[in-house]
């Protein structure tokens, strides 16, 4: 199943910079591993914001939940999820 996921990161202003750097490094490694697995299919930065828009390919809602809960930045995120269905006019057979 494909999901459109919008994520906004809200790190506390008083967070220790070393802690923030460590969490960001863990987040990058986790997200890149998911991309290599094909779970995190697309990621785009929203210009001017600490926000991204992504497409996830998960087995089901529970799998998506597990993936998102595993994000090191999860405790500092506002997340919006929209399940997607293939559009009948799409010419791309892989959009499923």
Which candidate, 71, 64, 73, places its Cα nearest to that of 55?
64
Average pLDDT value for the chain: 95
Asked whether residue 95 is assigned to any structural domain, the reply reads: no
What's the pLDDT tens digit per position in 1-22?
A: 999 999 999 999 999 999 999 9
SS3 70: coil
Asked whether residue 92 is assigned to any structural domain, the reply reads: no
Domain that holds residue 52: 2-84
Beta-bridge partners for 51: 8
Asked whether residue 10 is assigned to any structural domain, the reply reads: yes
Query: Domain of 32: which CATH number?
Result: 3.30.70.1060
Query: Does residue 58 or residue 89 have the better pLDDT?
Result: 58
Q: What is the distance in angstroms between the CA of the first residue and the CA of the last residue of the chain?
A: 7
Asked whether residue 94 is assigned to any structural domain, the reply reads: no
How many C-beta atoms lie closer than 10 Å to residue 74's C-beta? 14
Asked whether residue 62 is assigned to any structural domain, the reply reads: yes
What's the pLDDT tens digit per position in 72-86?
A: 999 999 999 999 988
Asked whether residue 78 is assigned to any structural domain, the reply reads: yes
Asked whether residue 67 is assigned to any structural domain, the reply reads: yes
SS3 39: coil
Which candidate, 64, 80, 58, 86, places its Cα nearest to that of 5?
80
Number of structural domains the chain divides into = 1
Asked whether residue 47 is assigned to any structural domain, the reply reads: yes
């Amino acid at each position: 199943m494909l999901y459109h996921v919008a994520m906004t990161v809200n790190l506390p202003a008083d967070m220790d910079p070393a802690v923030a750097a460590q969490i960001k490094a863990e987040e990058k490694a986790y997200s890149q591993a998911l991309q290599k697995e094909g779970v995190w299919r697309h990621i785009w930065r929203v210009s001017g914001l600490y926000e991204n828009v992504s497409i996830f390919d998960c087995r089901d809602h529970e799998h998506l939940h597990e993936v998102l809960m595993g994000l090191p930045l999860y405790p500092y995120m506002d997340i919006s999820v929209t399940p997607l269905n293939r559009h009948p006019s799409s010419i791309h057979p892989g959009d499923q």
